[in-house]
Structure 1
């Protein structure tokens, strides 16, 4: 997968992706890190590692995280399906 395919699949615009790549002091939001994990079709352990590298962790007390984990565990990386579930539970969607 090319870089442009990855950031488009993660719903991240080109400028934001460039900032992530170029600015070593910039830390993307947790939601952005999760969007890349989904776009790259990482499994749950790989996603946890990616989050940890950005200073984040998944929380069992967060509906958003629980929903994303469900999809990762079931290897469903369809952003539309994930957004539909997030919306159904009044959680912020990936945009």
Structure 2
């Protein structure tokens, strides 16, 4: 019974593993959102119409808000991950 309790507890290394997965997932979302803005910007440049310029402006507005909120979460989590990997020897 004591071994079951010790197996169910999170160690620092496993917690850092989950944090690393979370940071990588958020960084992937950041990269994909920047890819969306670049794609719509490229289409707007190629089409050259006012219609696509409106799409580009609204996309930049919404993605800018999304990226700012994402960075508010991502930067502190990244700092915690870097410090945790230096402190925990098994990570």
- Give the structure-1-normalised TM-score: 0.22
Instruction: With a CA cutoff of 8 Å and minimum separation of 6, indicate the structure with the bigger relative contact order.
Output: 2
- Give the structure-2-normalised TM-score: 0.22
